[in-house]
Amino acid sequence: MSTIYQATTSAPVNIACIKYWGKRDTTLILPTNSSLSVTLSQNDLSSTTSSSTSPSFPTTLLWLNNLPPEQIDLPSLSSSTSPSAVADTRLTRCLLQLKKLRKELVEDKDPSAPKMSEWNLHIASYNNFPTAAGLASSASGFAALTASVAALYGLNTFSSEQEQGQGNDPLVSASQLSLIARLGSGSACRSLFGGFVSWSAGSLPSGTDSLATQIAPASHWPTLHALICIVNAQKKATSSTSGMQRTVQTSALLQHRITDVVPRRMEGIIDAIKDRDFDAFGRITMDDSNQFHAVALDTSPPIFYMNDVSRSIILLIEELNRVSLLTSRHLVAAYTFDAGPNAVIYAEEKHIPTIVNLVLRYFPLEPGTFEDKLGVLGGKDASQVGG
Ligand code: DP6
């Protein structure tokens, strides 16, 4: 009987305030601009991945959300299988990089270490939120997978109890691991850290400087909350991956965003986070969401991610802020929308009850959509009209 080694790790969803939209290298997933996000707390929306390995596993298998397993063709590092003979996918690129690190940093240094880099893997991953919720799961999914296999290989010691990026004496830092998670999905590199995280675009063709770093831990600004409003739980019609490449190829506005807008906003939002300045944080977040949707619209053919409910939420929050600026001179909420119609509203904890009441007054929950903690907001959905 051979030993089975196992490790389990979770990673939460992150929501970008400065959006990543566009790749300069589609294989290495190198972005056209830097981005910055907030990682939600571990207990909210997260992916959990268990990885195991053993010399007795005949194939590498992947279970996603308890569906039947998928076989992954992965050459072992020492085998004579030509890499071109097996599928070259985002997943195989991540796993091969992790195997390489295991070999170089553990097995080549200690000949008695188990030769895990040559063995097959069993990987099971699930999300603690409904997969159909229309929320990006690739970020948390690839981050959890990378951290879990890294833990299995003894490269780090992340565990679900620890804040991401806080492993004990890891052989590989969380930023180095973010280079690997990035190969799975760009935004995944940011989910390896908790709190406020920036992903630097970098400039090297190898991509070794395109990594994530933590700007501040969640404990730096514990009163900042994110309210997630599910407007439509359907899978989006244009994936982020294909949508952003169409924008790179056709949008005239994108270059202006990359060179003139994002660098200034990155500096501004990092200062705002350091100062816990919600007014600056909120304004930059809303402006960047709006510009991201403007470049989507500037794509040919245009991409519409928001619908009528999304736009009504923008109007509601802008009106709430207008009144609040008159009375208290401060913003109370900031919306942001990813590649879909669902809104994320950032606000200080003390304002959350007001915002929830307001949103539910104008957009009552549709009954029976998710019995769990997520609800779909009602209202007319432009993407469903006539369709
Ligand atoms: C709008 O990371 O999902 O959420 O790298 O092709 O997997 P790939 O794309 P992905 O894109 C996320 C786009 C976004 C903005 C963001 O999270 O920064």
Centroid of ligand 1 to alpha carbon of 247 (angstroms):
13
Average pLDDT estimate for 141-152: 97
Candidate of 17, 18, 20 to mutate for ligand 1, largest count of ligand atoms within 8 Å of Cβ: 20
Q: What stretch of H or E contains 24?
A: strand 23-25
- Of all protein residues, whose CA lies closest to atom 3 belonging to ligand 1? 240
Whether the CB-CB separation of 183 and 97 falls below 8 Å is answered with yes
Q: In what order do the strands lie in the sheet with 343-348?
A: 224-229, 343-348, 334-337
- Please state the atom number of ligand 1 nearest to the C-alpha of residue 14: 17
Residues contacting ligand 1 via CB (< 6 Å): 16, 19-21, 29, 35, 136, 138-139, 185-187, 240-241, 338-339
What's the whole-number mean pLDDT along residues 160-174?
A: 61
Using the atom order of ligand 1, give the atom closest to the CA of residue 182. Answer: 5
- State yes or no: pLDDT of 161 exceeds 70: no
pLDDT at 234: 75
For a mutational test of ligand 1's pocket, the pick from 199, 240, 306, i.e. the residue with the most ligand atoms closer than 8 A to its C-beta, is 240
Supply 330's token pair: 């401060």
Q: What is the mean pLDDT of residues 2-12?
A: 95
77, 95, 94, 75: which is closest to 85 by C-alpha?
75
More confident residue, 136 or 282: 282
User: According to the model, what pLDDT value does residue 132 have?
Assistant: 57
Give the residue, by CA position, lying nearest to ligand 1 atom 11: 240
Average pLDDT over residues 10-17: 96
Residue 369 has pLDDT above 80, yes or no: no
pLDDT 10s digits, 294-341: 999 999 999 999 999 999 999 999 999 999 999 999 999 999 999 999
What would the pLDDT profile of 39-53 be if each residue is shown by its tens digit?
998 778 999 999 999
Beta strand 70-72 with 60-64 is antiparallel
Say if CB 147 and CB 158 are below 8 A apart: yes
Q: Say how many Å lie between the CA of residue 187 and the centre of ligand 1.
A: 5
Tell me 220's DSSP state. G
Report, as an integer, the average pLDDT of 337-364.
94
Confidence of residue 78 (pLDDT cuts 50, 70, 90): low
pLDDT category of residue 163 using cuts at 50, 70 and 90: very low
Q: What is the pLDDT of residue 168?
A: 55
Q: Which 3 state secondary structure label does DSSP give 233?
A: coil
Specify the residue with its C-alpha closest to ligand 1, atom 14: 338
- 84: confidence class by pLDDT, cuts 50, 70, 90: low
The predicted pLDDT at position 1 comes to 73
Pocket test of ligand 1: the residue of 145, 182, 187 to mutate, having most ligand atoms within 8 Å of its CB, is: 187
Q: What is the pLDDT of residue 376?
A: 56
Give the end-to-end CA distance of the chain in Å, rounded to a whole number.
57
Residue 308, burial from CB neighbour count under 10 angstroms (0-12, 13-18, 19+): middle
Burial pattern 143-171, b for ≥16 Cβ within 10 A else e, equals: bbbbbbbbbbbbbbbbeeeebbbbbeebb
Task: Report which of 91, 57, 39, 314 is spatially closest to residue 195, judged by C-alpha positions.
Answer: 39
Whether the per-residue pLDDT at 282 is higher than 90: the answer is yes
pLDDT grade, residue 88 (50/70/90)?
confident
Distance from C-alpha of 239 to C-alpha of 191, rounded to nearest angstrom:
19
Quick one: pLDDT band at residue 129, thresholds 50, 70, 90? Answer: confident
Look-up of token digits 């660098």 = 263
- Ligand 1, closest atom to CA 37? 18
Measured CA to CA in angstroms, residue 351 lies from 108, 228, 250 at distances of: 55, 15, 40
Which atom of ligand 1 lies closest to the CA of 31?
Answer: 5
* Nearest-atom index, ligand 1, CA of 19: 18
Query: Per residue in 290-305, pLDDT tens?
Result: 999 999 999 999 999 9
pLDDT at 377: 55
Going by C-alpha positions, the residue among 184, 179, 148, 180 that lies closest to residue 164 is: 148
pLDDT tens figures, 194-246: 999 999 999 999 999 999 999 999 999 999 999 999 888 777 788 999 999 99
* Ligand 1: centre distance to CA 177 (Å): 18
